[in-house]
Amino acid sequence: MGPLHDVLDLVEFKQLTAAEALIDWRAAPKRPVHPALAQWTEQAVHGYLTAVAALRAAPGVPCGEPLEPVSRLWARQRGPLKPGDPDMYEELVTDRRYAGHGVRELRVVRMGSVRNRPRDDIEIAVAVGVLAGGRPVLSSRWDRNPLRLGQSESARLVRLVEIGCADASHRVLFEGTRAEAYACYDSSVEAHIEQLIAGGSYRPGEKCGGCDAVDNCPAVPSVPGLLGVSASGSPRRSWSVTTGRTHRRCPARAHMESLFLPRDAAIEDKEAITRGKAVHAWIESRHRRTPQQPCVPDDVPGPPEAWEYGGWRVTGLQARLGIQMIGDHALVCPLRDRPEDTEVHPERAIAVYDPDADVVIVAKTDLLYRVSDRWALRETKTVRALSEGDPLEQHPQLALAVLLAQAGALPGAGHWQVELERLTGSGPVVTQLDVTAPDVIARAQHVLDPYITPWRADSQYPTKAGKACEDCPFTRWCPDAAKRSST
C-alpha cells in the first residue's frame, strides 16, 4: 500500500493530477518498487480516485466543496476500562483522512474489491470512536510515551468509508453524529478489546510468517542453519514449499503472492488437483470426529458418479477414483489399530524460525499423530499411478518434513518418523523414512536447496513469462504476462 499512499499524497497535498503524480513518483520512488507492484499502484490510484468521485457528499457539505485532506493521524486516549487496567489506552487511525464543514471522514483503502467484503463491526466501532473523539497526533506514531496530541474542533458528523482499489468500489460503513459513533462502542466491543489487551495462548501457524516478534516467540522453535543459507543482510522473509515451488516457476509470481496482490479467481484447478483436495477434505473430516474412530472402507462420499466435499466437486472418472482412494485409505489409516491410544492433529500448520537465514518456515502438514510414545508426520498424496523415483524429489514437502523432524522442530516430544501415504489407482502404499539416517537427511537437503537458495538470494524477482502464466492469478498486474490467447 505504501506506493499507493505516496502517489495519493502527491495528488492531495501537492495538487497534482493523477498522471503528473504517477510521473513524479516513477521518477523518484521512496523505495524500490517491483514492476508488478508499480502496475497495481497505477490502477489502484485510478480506482481510488474514481471511487472518490462517485462518493456522495456527506450531509451539510455543499456540492463542489470537497473535504480537505488531513496529513496528521488521529488518535484518542482513554482511561482504564475497569479497575486494575493500565492508566491509559491509545487508539489510532491511519489510512486516508479528510475534514471540513464540521465533518471528519476516514477512507479505508482495500487492495481488492469491497463488494461483498464482510463487515467488521468491531473495527468500525473503534474507527468511528476515534473519528468522534480523536485529536491530531503531533509526535511520531512510534513514540508512545504517550502520543502527543494537538487540539482540534470536534466534528458534528463522522463518516467511515471503505474503498476497493481493484475495481473502484466503495461503500459508506458509518455516517452519524458523535453520539451515534460513541454508541457503536458497546459492551461487546469493549469485551473484545479487553480480550485483545489480555492476550491469550500462543497459536503458532501460518500467520507467523508476517509476525515481527517471531524471533523472540517462545512457541516458535528456533533452528539455526535449518535452511542452509545465510540472510546476508536482507530483510526477514517467510518461506514455505509452495513459495519455493512458485519461485522456481516464476520469481515474480512468488513475489506477488507475498504482497497479497488481488488474485483472479477465474483460473480453474485441474481435475486431478480438485480430486486430490476433495479426497483430502473427506479424510480430514473423518480424522476430526470425536470420539476418534478409524476410517472404514465403506464410509465414502457419494453418489459414485458425482460428489462434492469441502467445496470440491468431482465427476466421472475422478469421482470414482476418489471414492476408491478414500476406501483404500481405511487400509492404512493411522487410527485403525489402537484408536483409543492414538492422538491425531489433521492439517496442522508448523512454524519454525531459522535465525541464520532470517527466515520463518511455514509447513502445512497433512497429519501429525502419536501412537503410544511414537510420533509421525504423514503426507498423503493422491496419484493415479505410482511413479518410480525418489519420493523426496517428487514431494519436497516430505524433504522439509525430514529436516523438521531431524531438527526436533515438530511439536510432540519423543521419537518422530515421516511417512508418505500414496493413494493410487492400484491401491495404497505407505513409505516410511528414517529421519535419523544421514543419507536421508543429505538427500532432503539436496532436494530442497534449489527451492531455497535462489529464492533467498533474489531481490529483484524477475518474471519468467510463458508456461507459468497459464494458471497465474496475477497476470493483470504483470507487465510481462504472456497474453492468454497465445498460451
Residues that bind Zn ion (CB under 5 A): 295, 333
C-beta closer to Zn ion: residue 295 or 300: 295
Cβ of 370: how many Cβ atoms within 10 Å? Answer: 18
Cα(361)–Cα(353) distance, rounded to whole angstroms?
A: 6
C-beta closer to Zn ion: residue 161 or 333: 333
Helix (H) or strand (E) holding 378: strand 374-382
C-beta closer to Zn ion: residue 159 or 378: 378
C-beta closer to Zn ion: residue 80 or 297: 297
C-beta closer to Zn ion: residue 242 or 292: 292
Q: How far is the CB of 336 from Zn ion (least distance, A)?
A: 7
Q: How far is the CB of 295 from Zn ion (least distance, A)?
A: 3
Q: Which residues pair with 424 in a beta bridge?
A: 427
Q: How far is the CB of 380 from Zn ion (least distance, A)?
A: 9
C-beta closer to Zn ion: residue 333 or 376: 333
C-beta closer to Zn ion: residue 333 or 418: 333
Cβ of 219: how many Cβ atoms within 10 Å? Answer: 13
Side-chain-side CA neighbours of residue 190 (13 Å): 12
Q: How far is the CB of 38 from Zn ion (least distance, A)?
A: 48
Q: How far is the CB of 34 from Zn ion (least distance, A)?
A: 43
Amino acid at 395: H
Q: How far is the CB of 289 from Zn ion (least distance, A)?
A: 10
Q: How far is the CB of 283 from Zn ion (least distance, A)?
A: 6
Cβ of 66: how many Cβ atoms within 10 Å? Answer: 15
Q: How far is the CB of 398 from Zn ion (least distance, A)?
A: 19
Q: How far is the CB of 348 from Zn ion (least distance, A)?
A: 15
Compute CA distances 119 → 61, 116, 125, whole Å: 26, 9, 11
Alpha-helix runs per DSSP H in 334-480? 391-394, 396-406, 438-457
C-alpha cell belonging to residue 235: 530483510
- In which residue are the cell numbers 471414492 written? 323
Cα(243)–Cα(471) distance, rounded to whole angstroms?
A: 15
Compute CA distances 455 → 240, 446, 480, whole Å: 11, 15, 20
C-alpha cell belonging to residue 168: 473502484
Q: How far is the CB of 286 from Zn ion (least distance, A)?
A: 5
C-beta closer to Zn ion: residue 41 or 424: 424
Q: Are strands 157-164 and 89-93 parallel, antiparallel or unpaired?
A: unpaired
Of 316, 317, 242, 326, residue with least CA distance to 278: 326
Of 74, 168, 48, 60, residue with least CA distance to 126: 74
C-beta closer to Zn ion: residue 178 or 286: 286
Phi and psi dihedrals of 98, rounded to 5?
A: -140, 150
C-beta closer to Zn ion: residue 278 or 333: 333
Q: Are strands 306-309 and 312-315 parallel, antiparallel or unpaired?
A: antiparallel
